[in-house]
Structure 1
């Protein structure tokens, strides 16, 4: 009975290791896609190290500071949010940061990848 239990536990261990490797590969692809999209769309204003201010604020920790919906809405249309007097958009503008260009062409999947990259950089 003990041998059966040991074999069962080892089998589970191998299964979960295999599943976690699959997850890491998927996440690695998401990270690479996010980096590529960041470099194409964000790097001209935001520092890639996520710590330094450039012509726009540093993004390190932004996914913990702002809600996902707000980040996606702001990334797609910061001007619209400012015009609607979104509290955070107005605050950013009042801190002498310019509004972001609108990235309406970015899908939620693109933004998932970008913010995953930012979160894990």
Structure 2
């Protein structure tokens, strides 16, 4: 029997400096959700990773495609508004309907999830 938590949040801090690691972990989250459909999985993008949600950056297209796949399996996608401000990213530059929630302060969002007994993966 495989033990898996029923609530997981992936805290994405890795950005373009390590795209392979970023994509591998988004892929892992997607596989986990496909394996256990009832599991709650969330993915929050902080600085500098939030910049990969910019639809105008051709370099990030493979990452955006991977994030869309994760979302389509039922993973909740969150973007930190403070991080967005730090990198000059506006909501208009993020593909429509990709982000499920904009958290004003990502760190507080993560702390609240930890209080709700979410397992936390820092990427």
Report the TM-score, using the length of structure 2 for normalisation: 0.27
Based on CA coordinates, which of the two structures has the bigger radius of gyration? Answer: 1
Q: TM-score, normalised by structure 1?
A: 0.28
More helix by share: 1
